[in-house]
Amino acid sequence: MKYYSTNKQSSLVSFKEATIKGQAPDKGLYFPETIPHINAAFVNSIGEFSNEEIAYKVISPYVGSEISEEKLRQIVSETVNFPIPLVKVNDNISSLELFHGPTLAFKDIGARFMSRCLGYFVQGDSRKVTVLVATSGDTGGAVANGFYDVEGVEVVILYPSGKVSPVQEKQLTALGKNIHALEVLGTFDDCQQMVKQAFADKELTEKKFLTSANSINVARWLPQQFYYFFAYKQWADKNNPPVISVPSGNFGNICAGILAMQSGLPVKHFIAACNVNDILSDYLQTQELKPKQAVATLSNAMDVGNPSNFVRILEIFNHKFPELKNKLSSYSVTDDETIATIKEVYDQHNYLLDPHGAVGYLALKCYLADHPGENGIFLETAHPVKFPGAVEKITGKTIEAPDSVQAIMRSEKMSTQIEAEYEALKDFLMA
Ligand SMILES: *Cc1c(COP(=O)(O)O)cnc(C)c1O
């Protein structure tokens, strides 16, 4: 498979090059030249296949012969080696729980796949590759865990001191080995600015082989299709495919779902469930995408005012607006509605949502109210224990942390504090 840049000003690349480069030189996003078709017989008998087999079948056309079958099967089985259950919440709504991975958020899937592919591609290179990433919380943990102990790869994560939750901080700082946490005395925007400057610094990039692990990397984006197939495998009413609601920020997750649908996965409709940082609703009315300055909400991993993966959605639909509008809706959910939803679902259905999942649930509920006879799935993208402040206050229930979290909370924090200045980062990287 070859990948082109959505800006069409860079040359075609292989899966390996797209994985190593991340973003195209013309600042576009890489996109597969063709969308593979999964045969109907496979989809119809999906219940007979293991998750490993399904994941291999989905990803292999995108990788081609660039990774051997045996190695790719190993990578895939390590990527999906935890449960991804579909849990019924009420008569017409089920939750796809994506939070049973090592850092309790769906980003584990993409990070585990990407880290293993990158590790494979740089094997035997004399230069070590350094993955440089800024995080406001979830990304850093998933990347740290995914890349932990991967040979030939060093990871440097910048996070804003005092501005990530205690669980998130430990997930970044307790690992050690090839994972280096830089605790920046500043904001997330400072961290992101410093990382951008590093990528633009010729002196640094000549000395260090730098790459990024953000969600625009194809090796993080494409494996997110897996769990849409796992959801369908567990969906009882195969004659009436699900409406799927995806809590959305940068739109990487929903875009992977739409890609899966275009490859042949039965899905009735997609809902982009957004918090107040919603720009899609306007777009669906006006066909004009107007980025906004992001505002802070309870579902903070979705506080994005200019979703970078939106251009891939346009690409999937060949820029045909009527087709896009036919398959995709958008809802905007306020913090007050998020709180009320967490409380209602806990009281009435004894199911504990995190703020991101709550946005997904409410958007789906609203859509289904207007579409009688349809049923749906929302993606529960993080474990409620990652957001204990909000969830415990609303439900009055203390959330029990899974064993893995209890263990990490007992381990020691290892971080290097630096000032929020580019020179401090550069000194660290050059040393
Ligand atoms: C990153 C994240 C999202 C948003 O996913 P996108 O792919 O950026 O749309 C939603 N929920 C949680 C918990 C996240 O960490």
Mean pLDDT by 10 residues, the chain (431 residues): 96 96 90 97 97 98 98 97 98 97 94 95 88 88 93 94 88 94 91 89 91 90 98 96 96 97 98 96 93 88 89 96 97 97 96 96 98 97 88 86 86 96 97 89
**CB 107 less than 6 A from any atom of ligand 1:** yes
The Cβ of residue 341 has, within 10 Å, a number of other Cβ atoms equal to: 22
**Per the structure block, which two tokens stand in for 13?**
């690349």
CB of residue 248 inside a 6 A radius of ligand 1:
yes
Q: Are 414 and 173 in contact (CB under 8 A)?
A: yes
Query: Which residue is catalytic, options 107, 170, 233, 365?
Result: 107
DSSP conformation class of 249: S
Contact 138 CB / ligand 1 (< 6 Å): yes
CB atoms within 10 A of CB 200: 9
- Give the pLDDT confidence score for residue 401 in this predicted structure: 83
**Which atom of ligand 1 lies closest to the CA of 356?**
11
Q: Which residue owns the Cα nearest ligand 1 atom 11?
A: 381
Question: C-alpha distances in angstroms, 52 versus 76, 79, 357, 386?
Answer: 6, 9, 26, 28
Res 305: pLDDT: 86
Q: How far apart are CA 328 and CA 323, in angstroms?
A: 9
Rounded to the nearest angstrom, the distance between the alpha carbon of 305 and the centre of ligand 1 is 13
Q: For tokens 């008998």, name the residue.
A: 45
Scanning the structure block, which residue is given the tokens 């990382």? 195
Amino acid type, 19: T
Q: Where are the alpha helices (DSSP H) in 200-251?
A: 202-207, 218-221, 226-234
Residue 214 near ligand 1, beta carbon < 6 Å: no
Cα 124 to ligand 1 centroid, rounded to whole Å: 34
Tell whether ligand 1 has an atom less than 6 A from the beta carbon of residue 129.
no
The residue whose C-alpha atom lies closest to atom 1 belonging to ligand 1 is 301
pLDDT for residue 215: 81
252 lines ligand 1 (CB under 6 A): yes
Gap from CA of 78 to ligand 1 centroid (Å) = 22
pTM score: 0.94
Residue with tokens 């769990």: 227
| Ligand 1 neighbourhood includes 143 CB (under 6 angstroms) | no
Contacts of 15 (CB under 8 A, 6+ apart): 1, 3, 62, 63, 64, 66, 218, 219
Please, is 206 exposed, middle or buried when counting C-beta atoms within 10 Å of its C-beta (0-12, 13-18, 19+)? exposed
Q: How far apart are CA 349 and CA 342, in angstroms?
A: 10
H or E element that contains 5: strand 3-5
CA separation for the pair 224, 228 (Å, rounded): 8
Query: Rounded to 5 degrees, what angle do the CA atoms 332, 338, 342 make?
Result: 145
Name the residue with tokens 């306020």. Answer: 334
Residue type (1 letter), 326: N
Question: In angstroms, what is the span from residue 41 Cα to ligand 1's centroid?
Answer: 32
Domains of the chain in sequence order: 84-105+221-400 (3.40.50.1100)
Report residue 311 CA to chain centroid gap.
16
Give the contacts of 211 (CB within 8 A, at least 6 positions apart).
Answer: 20, 21, 22, 118, 129, 130, 131, 132
Residue 29 CA to residue 155 CA, distance in Å, equals 23
What pLDDT shows up at residue 274?
Answer: 97
3-state secondary structure of 278: coil
Residue 297 alpha carbon to ligand 1 centre in Å: 13
Please work out whether the CB of residue 108 comes within 6 Å of at least one atom of ligand 1: no
The closest-lying atom of ligand 1 relative to the alpha carbon of residue 354 is: 13
Verify whether ligand 1 is closer than 6 Å to residue 405 (CB atom). Answer: no
* Residue 276 Cα to ligand 1 middle (Å): 15
Whether residue 249 contacts residue 303, with contact meaning beta carbons closer than 8 Å, is answered with: yes
Active site (annotated) includes residue 208: no
Give the per-residue pLDDT at 193: 86
Beta bridge partners of 274: 332
pLDDT digits (tens, 9 = 90+) for 196-251: 899 889 999 899 989 988 888 999 999 999 999 999 999 999 999 999 999 999 99
Beta bridge partners of 97: 380
Closest CA to 310 of 254, 379, 251, 228: 251
Report the nearest atom of ligand 1 relative to the CA of 382: 13
* Ligand 1 midpoint to CA 249 (Å): 6
Q: How far is CA 227 from CA 97, 235, 407, in A?
A: 10, 12, 27
Instruction: Give CA–CA dist 12/8, Å, rounded.
Output: 9
